[in-house]
Amino acid sequence: MTSASKGGFQPDSDVHITFEDQQKINKFARHNAKLEDFKDELKQKQNELKNLEEAADEIELLPDDKIPFLVGEIFVFQDQEKTQKCLEEAKQQIQKEIEGIEDKCSKLKEIMSDLKTQLYGKFGSHINLEAEEE
């Protein structure tokens, strides 16, 4: 009985991986890892933005007293108008960062799509470049 009849792995002799192919596979893997890092960073920034929006909503409900605002490692007390202005500036900054991350993600996806096309064109079903679903 051969190993193929026992259900063992038999390498396909028709598939030959060149150095350039391996470089493309490695490049795809690096870009995929970067994309996952960007997705995590994007979630974090979106959460920060949501927190700032909630803080701005809550400040409107407070009396016009001095409001503690975190700057670095200390709290600075300032009036409601100044605090709202600071929150708005922080929201705009985070929104710019989110847009930058989304732009980087789209560029990586373009590169990865091109690599997928090339690799699937050569290897067909012998390669799997799809992300695992959780």
pTM (2 decimals)? Answer: 0.76
Residue with tokens 């193929």: 4
pLDDT digits (tens, 9 = 90+) for 22-69: 999 999 999 999 999 999 999 999 999 999 999 888 888 877 778 888
Query: What value, to the nearest 5°, has the Cα angle with vertex 36 and ends 18 and 104?
Result: 90
pLDDT digits (tens, 9 = 90+) for 75-113: 888 888 888 899 999 999 999 999 999 999 999 999 999
Average pLDDT, integer, range 111-134: 85
pLDDT of 58: 86
Q: Is the pLDDT of residue 1 over 60?
A: no
When pLDDT is cut at 50, 70 and 90, the band that residue 8 belongs to is very low
**How far is Cα 57 from Cα 98, in angstroms, rounded to an integer?**
21
**122 and 21 Cβ atoms separated by less than 8 Å:** yes
**How far is Cα 101 from Cα 107, in angstroms, rounded to an integer?**
10
Take residue 41 and report the two structure tokens written for it: 């960073």
